[in-house]
Structure 1
Amino acid sequence: MAPKKKGKLIDWADDDHFSKDRSIFHIEHTTECPIFQVKADECLTFFQQRIPEREFQLIRNKNGKQVPREGAFEVRVSQNARTSEHLLWSGLNRGPPRRDKFPRYETLVSDVHRVLKKFYADKVVDLDEEEEDM
């Protein structure tokens, strides 16, 4: 069983914490092995660096309210805490080996852009523009 973290969990959808500029990564991951937690952190860090014009927050296992499925690693994204979640990756039926459970984050970038553009077209850099700059 994973150790419980001390401190109050934040409800990003409540009026005190809500921001339409904060997108949410919802990751369901098993706690059977620490690598699943590491990969969830890596996912958030990758997108924070890749799309710096957006603020991202990671919510794991519905803030501890969801018992993760065995071998689960699923990545969902929402425009903000009050919008629907969009499935980007499911590793449920993948592996062994365990490395197949995790996505290559680069392959998810276009899907994240697609989800964010639905509501924030003016705040998301177009992938074509980004490739021209490189």
Structure 2
Amino acid sequence: MAPKKKKGKIVDWADDEHFSKDRSIFYIEHTTECPIFQVKADECLTFFQQRIPEREFQLVRNKNGKQVPRDGAFEVCISQNARTSEHELWSGITRGPPRRDKFPQYEDLVSDVHRVLRKFYPDKAVGIDDDEMDM
């Protein structure tokens, strides 16, 4: 029998103890029917942590387990921080088969992520030049 995984403590990133206006949140709803959905959620977070290293990102899966994910779901939303609204970046719910169509090309989401990050703090450069925004 495989050992049981310990569940980590669920953190409310919006409460006073954990809140940081410099921490953006990726909300990913993903099905648990296949492990690749969890891997792709981790890949998404890692991609943006490497692509925009001057910004802190946190991944919240399925509303910290409070949301039952829809079958075949892989949806990516971002918020500037834990106290701002979520903005949908990608929905794979109606995509596929094949399963690979359910997942975004992360590079295609970069301009949308920058748009959301600049919406609240336009005076702070967030790893992109104005020339790149026009593309």
Q: TM-score, normalised by structure 1?
A: 0.91
Secondary structure class of the residue paired with 2:29: strand
Query: Identity across aligned pairs (percent)?
Result: 84
Aligned partner of 1:94 in structure 2 is 95
Aligned partner of 1:10 in structure 2 is 11
Aligned partner of 2:127 in structure 1 is 125
Aligned partner of 2:45 in structure 1 is 44
- The amino acid across from 1:89 in the alignment is W
Distance 1:68 1:39 in 2: 15
Aligned partner of 2:32 in structure 1 is 31
Q: 1:105 to 1:117 in 2, by over 3 A?
A: same
| 1:127 Cα deviation from its structure 2 partner | 3.8
Distance 1:86 1:14 in 2: 20
Aligned partner of 1:70 in structure 2 is 71
Which ranges of structure 1 fall in alignment gaps of 5 or more residues?
none
Aligned partner of 1:103 in structure 2 is 104
Q: Let me know the Cα RMSD of the aligned residues.
A: 1.6
- The amino acid across from 1:80 in the alignment is N
| 1:128 Cα deviation from its structure 2 partner | 4.2
**How many pairs were matched up?**
129
Secondary structure class of the residue paired with 1:31: coil
Please identify which structure carries the higher helix content: 1
| 1:6 Cα deviation from its structure 2 partner | 1.9
The answer as to whether partners of 1:110 and 1:127 remain within 8 angstroms in 2 is no
Secondary structure class of the residue paired with 1:58: strand
Secondary structure class of the residue paired with 2:83: coil
Distance 2:12 2:40 in 1: 23
- The amino acid across from 1:51 in the alignment is I
